[in-house]
């Protein structure tokens, strides 16, 4: 889709190549009356100089495609939706008379039928659809209410991150109820998870707790660490964590994405759970520390992984990876068990490698180009369960070549696994644990390194699975945000 910005004596545009999807950016200092693009680009006419506005963004849409887009979104045909958007279909079909199967806009229909990737794609467009667009009378429900009626839990975080209202009331056909009330009444599909997601946002999106700040471009911590302490509608910022509050130093939160300080600075709550600040040109992010499970990554890089089953991770869609190499393994627990749920275990340490010698590690292959946002592991012996771990990725030619770049650092508060007398640790946590972090695009290889355990012995693991972000492949991130986060060609 072509984006045009008009500034005095200069015109700018950026867009995505139809075939390669590479981002391109151009500044045009002079424009003839009509400029036509040929070849592979998804637009035929770039500019008619006489139609330039005084500024802002101008997009050339084909309203005749609005109805087709609404139908493709309803059907869940992601490839067709992409093709229609590339051909000029307006993502806000409701503004162009584009409805399907009654009065469902593209966004409303996609949300109703649980097509999270399409919901995310539509809301990533520079011209966004109306996140409150309603279907026909007498139901008159918004996309979020549609998702609530049908129990489409994966759609909820995407809509909420883009401003969907928790308090909007449906039409009489659904009893003048909110999305949460509709879900609780209908009880379809994943309605309980849907309600849990809404409650999390209503309570402040989990903002209460300790945070640390990192540079957005590099992930390097800047030393800033603080606490958000909620009192009523206010989130007081406490430095250092645990200290005394200042009455005029607090933020408010709109329940979806915007965090605003009483004196001006604001941040946006991203799908990853990070806060993106508007200070210094958007240079800084803040990341959460929860339950002792988050700290800075290896060498100060990477994302702090938060323990727990985050709703922002698609826990139903594990990445299909292969374990290709590891540190020494005992013969009674072969490596391939770590990617299977068959009941066998992978026993790290090896008779020659020594059970008390850290680190122990495993390398997975088959992840190139995939976004990853979480991991689930099941430990065998509680005493041997991992206490601290590092996740890294590499674009190397083989599993040995590197270089490795940090993805996340993980930790557990207490031993987790089966209680075994000789393991020397009592009161274990449940055997299965999850961690999540800001989505990152992977290279060819993914390395999980165990740097310590609770009793000092090498870990014995039933399985380890990595997962993508929820809301489709982008997890609610725009294409531009993903390009920046994944170090692809940036858009100035």
pLDDT digits (tens, 9 = 90+) for 140-171: 999 999 999 999 998 998 888 777 888 889 99
Q: Using 50, 70 and 90 to split pLDDT, how confident is the model at 104?
A: very high
Query: What is the C-alpha to C-alpha distance for residues 251 and 231, in angstroms, rounded to an integer?
Result: 11
Quote the percentage of the chain above a pLDDT of 70: 72
- The DSSP letter of residue 76 is T
Residue 306 pLDDT: 59
Longest dimension (CA), the chain: 82
Residue 84 pLDDT: 95
Q: What angle do CA 232, 228, 406 make, to 5 degrees?
A: 145
Residue 82 pLDDT: 94
Q: Is the pLDDT of residue 427 over 80?
A: no
Cβ-contact 286, 213 below 8 angstroms: yes
pLDDT digits (tens, 9 = 90+) for 209-229: 788 888 888 777 777 888 888
Query: What is the C-alpha to C-alpha distance for residues 368 and 321, in angstroms, rounded to an integer?
Result: 10
Average of per-residue pLDDT values in the chain: 75
Name the CATH superfamily, with its identifier, for domain 63-202.
Answer: Ankyrin repeat-containing domain (1.25.40.20)
Lowest mean pLDDT among 11-20, 75-84, 131-140: 11-20
Q: Which residue has the higher pLDDT, 206 or 48?
A: 206
Residue 79's contacts (CB-CB under 8 Å, 6 or more residues apart) are: none
Residue 60 pLDDT: 67
Residue 272 pLDDT: 61
Tokens of 414: 């207490």
Q: Using 50, 70 and 90 to split pLDDT, how confident is the model at 232?
A: low
What SS3 class is residue 96? helix
Helices 179-186 and 143-150 cross at an angle (nearest 10°) of 20
Residue 400 pLDDT: 81
Q: Is the pLDDT of residue 470 over 60?
A: yes
Q: Which residue has the higher pLDDT, 343 or 106?
A: 106
Mean pLDDT of all residues in 324-351: 87
Fold that domain 322-467 belongs to in CATH: Jelly Rolls (2.60.120)
Residue 25 pLDDT: 39
Q: Using 50, 70 and 90 to split pLDDT, how confident is the model at 356?
A: low
- HSE (side-chain half, CA atoms, 13 Å) at 291: 16
pTM of the full structure? 0.41
Residue 45 pLDDT: 36
Residue 96 pLDDT: 93
Residue 224's contacts (CB-CB under 8 Å, 6 or more residues apart) are: 212, 213, 286
Q: Is the pLDDT of residue 19 over 60?
A: no
Residue 419 pLDDT: 66
Q: Is the pLDDT of residue 345 over 70?
A: yes
Residue 235 pLDDT: 85
Q: What angle do CA 58, 63, 68 make, to 5 degrees?
A: 130
Burial-class residue 7 by CB neighbours within 10 Å (0-12, 13-18, 19+).
exposed
Residue 33 pLDDT: 32
Q: Is the pLDDT of residue 288 over 80?
A: no
Q: Which residue has the higher pLDDT, 314 or 107?
A: 107
Mean pLDDT of all residues in 403-416: 82
What are the b/e assignments for 115-139, b being 16+ CB within 10 Å? bbbbbbbbbbbeeebebbbbbeeeb
Q: Using 50, 70 and 90 to split pLDDT, how confident is the model at 35?
A: very low
Q: Using 50, 70 and 90 to split pLDDT, how confident is the model at 264?
A: confident
Identical fold, 63-202 and 322-467: no
Name which of 184, 185, 186, 237 is nearest 207 in CA terms.
Answer: 237
Lowest mean pLDDT among 271-285, 349-363, 372-386: 349-363
pLDDT digits (tens, 9 = 90+) for 293-332: 333 222 223 445 556 677 778 888 899 999 999 988 888 8
Whether the link from the prior residue into 138 is cis, omega within 30° of 0, is yes
Sequence spans of domains, the chain = 3-58, 63-202, 209-289, 322-467
């Amino acid at each position: 889709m072509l984006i045009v910005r008009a500034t005095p004596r200069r015109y700018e545009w950026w867009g995505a190549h139809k075939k390669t999807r590479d981002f391109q950016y151009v500044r045009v200092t002079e424009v003839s009356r009509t400029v036509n693009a040929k070849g592979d680009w998804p637009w035929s006419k770039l500019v008619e100089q006489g139609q330039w506005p005084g500024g802002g963004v101008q997009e050339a849409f084909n309203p005749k495609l609005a109805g087709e887009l609404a139908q493709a979104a309803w059907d869940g045909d992601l490839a067709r939706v992409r093709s229609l958007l590339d051909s000029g279909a307006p993502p806000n079909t409701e503004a162009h008379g584009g409805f399907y199967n009654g009065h469902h806009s593209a966004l409303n229909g996609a949300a109703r039928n649980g097509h999270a990737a399409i919901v995310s794609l539509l809301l990533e467009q520079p011209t966004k659809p109306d996140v409150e667009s309603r279907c026909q009378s007498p139901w008159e429900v918004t996309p979020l209410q549609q998702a609530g009626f049908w129990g489409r839990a994966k759609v909820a975080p995407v809509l909420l991150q883009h401003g969907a209202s928790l308090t909007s009331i449906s039409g009489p056909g659904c009893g003048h109820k909110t999305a949460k009330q509709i879900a609780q009444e209908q009880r379809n599909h994943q309605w309980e998870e849907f309600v849990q997601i809404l409650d999390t946002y209503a309570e402040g999106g989990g903002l209460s707790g300790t945070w640390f700040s990192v540079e957005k471009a590099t992930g390097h911590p800047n030393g800033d660490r603080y606490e958000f302490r909620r009192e009523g509608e206010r989130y007081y910022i406490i430095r250092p964590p645990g200290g005394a509050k200042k009455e005029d130093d607090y933020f408010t939160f709109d329940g979806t994405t915007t965090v605003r300080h009483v004196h001006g600075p604001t941040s946006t709550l991203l799908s990853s759970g990070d806060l993106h600040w508007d200070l210094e040109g958007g240079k800084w992010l803040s990341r959460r520390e929860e339950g002792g499970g988050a700290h800075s990554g290896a060498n100060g890089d990477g994302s702090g992984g938060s323990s727990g089953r985050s709703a922002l991770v698609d826990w139903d869609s594990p990445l299909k990876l292969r374990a290709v190499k590891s540190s020494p393994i005992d013969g009674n627990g072969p490596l391939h068990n770590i990617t299977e749920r068959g009941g066998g275990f992978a026993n790290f340490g090896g008779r020659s490698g020594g059970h008390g010698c850290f680190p122990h590690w495993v390398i997975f292959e088959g992840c190139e180009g995939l976004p990853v946002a979480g991991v689930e592991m099941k430990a065998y012996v509680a005493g041997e369960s991992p206490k601290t771990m590092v996740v890294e990725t590499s674009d190397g030619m083989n599993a040995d070549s590197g270089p490795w770049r940090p993805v996340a650092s993980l930790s557990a508060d207490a031993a987790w696994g089966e209680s075994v007398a000789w393991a020397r640790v009592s009161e274990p946590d449940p055997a299965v644990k999850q961690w999540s972090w800001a989505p990152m695009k992977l290279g060819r290889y993914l390395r999980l390194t165990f740097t310590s355990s609770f009793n000092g012995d090498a870990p014995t693991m039933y399985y380890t699975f990595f997962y993508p972000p929820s809301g489709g492949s982008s997890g609610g991130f725009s294409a531009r945000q993903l390009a920046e986060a994944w170090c692809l060609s940036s858009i100035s």
